[in-house]
Amino acid sequence: MGIFRVGLMLLLTTFSLYAVSDADICKEVEKISQESKLIYEKFEDTKHALILLNNTEFRRILTTKPSCMDEKTHLRYLEQYALYLSKTADYHTPRYLEPLMKMYPESALFHKLLGRFYQKEFEKHTLPKMRDAALESYKRYIEFATKEKQKIDQDIQEFVKHGGLKKAQSTWADQLNISRDIPKNAFKAHYIDTTNPKKIVASERVTEINVNYPYKDFHNIDSGHFGGYWVGNFESKTDEKKVFYISFSNSKLRLIIDGYIVYEGQSNVEIPYTFTKGFHKVEIEYLNGWHTTTLAVKILPEITKYTQQELKERLNLLEKNELAFWYVGAYESKNKDNSIHITLQKSDKPVVLLLESHHASTWKIHNPLQTSIKAILIHSSTPQSSIEGEIDKNTSILYSQNRLATGYKLFQKCSCISGHFHCEDGVFSPKSFIFAPEGQTISGFSGAYSIHELSVPQEIMNDEKYAQIEAQKEKNEAQRKECSQNKNENFDTIFKK
């Protein structure tokens, strides 16, 4: 093989010396194509077959068809090149295939190879967007292969038929729901201790999946051994696209729809899924692995999330001189169902609510004084907070791509220990409300690390309150400088005071 590679290098050198005319290119390309094919088929050496194409006159035809070549021949060469690319580990298919596809958008092979790339990425990382990309490429492959009367790959047909999903070999229903008691448009929840998984500790009927507790605060199940199984039949009146917004951490989750695995993973995820008209069985299996359990699963219509500039433009359309901006900040809910209850106080101006949390929460609005709410802006760091309660149908509900503001406490406490200065996290920053309409500031503040319920606003943010925040910052900075002079004592200087 070593002699062969030396010969190949000499061949490459010889080819590189050619100064060929446009007419000669076709002859050279055909010769190189055959040499490369020999390397690929006889020696099963895709890498060097590709090197030969990339380092000779062949590379000239990758971007432009020479006048001496017809389109059918040109496409044949490009498909040979694409095939070798697809079998080389250190390449990026979209990057190299897309220029070829622009020249020949109806090449069935190009779409097939691109689909395979996306399928592998989906199977490796369980990314729904990769599955969607694979399906789109494969559908085009089938369309153009059918048009050219080519034989369709059966594995690809099966992939498309089932939406890129694999059939679950079994589900927890075989152990936990033997009676097949499945409610309509709701979930039957089964809670287990994974040290004794066949015993159902508790079960209940729920409309939404939410579990939020530390240690043993939920049916006396140790959080590190908590397992949950939810199953329900959900009806779609028409074909409709929904999104599963799933927030969890330090745990594993599997989503199964109609017996097919839609997601299996260990991180926050947004999963788009198109339901056809009729009933669909939705199952969720969950294994926790931490001293706290935090899980939220919401099935919602696809949500539009606005940029900061887009939010600013939307707010500018409101009567900005007559609005009060009330901010509510939280790290998480204190309730087991991930809800945060807020009760609005009376306002002499219409209100814009800014609801910010780290963990996905269900904000439940209580408005006994019928305060006018012009708009509600929502953001959570994990997908996806939502709102319920006393909300007028004309109130604008706007979801943000970015934080609305920062923090859940007004004043930051700091400490100095042996020259080390430390300040608490979660402090409110007035400057973080960067998409506010001109001249507007947050006029009401409420917040806490973990919230069960609270009154909004807790604090009226006037000039005096903002001055107090700045004064506290200056005080903390002075403490920091003083602390830095308090270095750790050492053995040689401890008595030299």
Q: Residue 466 — pLDDT band, cuts 50, 70, 90?
A: very high
pLDDT at 417: 86
The per-residue pLDDT for 435 is: 78
The pLDDT, as a whole number, for residue 93 is 75
pTM recorded for the entire structure: 0.78
pLDDT in tens, 332-384: 999 999 999 999 999 999 999 999 999 999 999 999 999 999 999 999 999 99
What average pLDDT does range 117-133 have in this prediction?
Answer: 88
Res 491: pLDDT? 74
> Could you say which of 1.25.40.10, 3.40.50.920, 3.40.50.2300, 3.40.50.10540 is the CATH number of the domain covering 2-164?
1.25.40.10
pLDDT at 189 > cutoff 70: yes
pLDDT digits (tens, 9 = 90+) for 252-291: 999 999 999 999 999 899 999 999 999 999 999 999 999 9
pLDDT of res. 320: 63
Among the listed ranges 43-47, 162-166, 229-233, 314-318, which one has the minimum average pLDDT value? 314-318
> What's the mean pLDDT when you consider all of the chain?
90
- For 175-197, b where at least 16 C-beta lie within 10 A, e where not — what string? ebbeeeebeeeebbbbbbbeeee
Residue 489 has pLDDT above 80, yes or no: no
Q: What is the pLDDT of residue 2?
A: 47
- Percentage helix, strand, coil for the chain under 3-state DSSP, each rounded to 5: 35, 30, 35
Split at pLDDT 50, 70, 90, the class of 209 is very high
CATH 2.60.120.260 domain extents, the chain: 167-301
- Gap between the Cα atoms of 9 and 473, Å rounded: 68
Per-residue pLDDT of 244-257, as tens digits, reads: 999 998 999 999 99
Alpha-carbon distances, residue 167 vs 145, 171, 257 (angstroms): 27, 10, 10
The sign of the torsion formed by the CA atoms of 78, 157, 274, 359 equals: negative
pLDDT of residue 401: 94
Tokens of 293: 């359990």
pLDDT at 129 over 60: yes
Q: What's the mean pLDDT in 93-109?
A: 92
pLDDT of residue 89: 67
**Is 168 a residue whose pLDDT tops 50?**
yes
| Among 328-332, 408-412, 455-459, the least confident range | 408-412
Cα 398 to Cα 306: distance, rounded to the nearest angstrom? 7
Residue 485: its pLDDT value, please? 78
HSE-up (13 A, CA, CB side) for residue 382: 22
pLDDT of residue 257: 97
- Is the four-CA dihedral 146, 149, 150, 153 of positive or negative sign? positive
Tell me the fold of 167-301: Jelly Rolls (2.60.120)
Residue 384: asked if its preceding bond is cis (omega within 30°), the reply is yes
Instruction: Give me the percent of the chain exceeding a pLDDT of 70.
Output: 93
The whole-number average pLDDT for the span 171-184 is 94
- Give 33: exposed, middle or buried? Use CB within 10 Å, 0-12, 13-18, 19+: buried
Over residues 414-464, the pLDDT tens digits come to 999 878 899 988 898 877 787 777 778 899 999 999 999 999 999 999 999
Residue 6 and residue 47 in contact, taking contact as beta carbons nearer than 8 Å: no
Confidence class of residue 19 from pLDDT cuts 50, 70 and 90?
very low
Name the pLDDT band for 18 (thresholds 50, 70, 90).
very low
pLDDT for 135 beyond 90: yes
Looking at per-residue pLDDT, the higher value among 349 and 494 belongs to 349
What is the average pLDDT across 95-102?
A: 91
User: Is the pLDDT reported for residue 5 higher than 80?
Assistant: no
Tell me the C-alpha distance between 61 and 76, whole Å.
11
Helix (H) or strand (E) holding 26: helix 22-42
Q: What is the pLDDT of residue 448?
A: 95
Q: Is the pLDDT of residue 295 over 50?
A: yes
Instruction: Examine the pLDDT at 13 and tell me if it is beyond 70.
Output: no
pLDDT interval class at 118 (50, 70, 90): very high
Contact present, 191 and 201 (Cβ < 8 Å) = yes
Region(s) of the chain under CATH 1.25.40.10:
2-164
Say what the pLDDT of residue 449 is: 94
- Residues across the chain: 497
Helix orientation angle between 71-86 and 93-103, rounded to the nearest 10 degrees = 170
Mean pLDDT score, 119-143: 91
Q: What would the mean pLDDT of 76-86 be, rounded to a whole number? A: 94
299/296 Cα distance (integer angstroms): 10
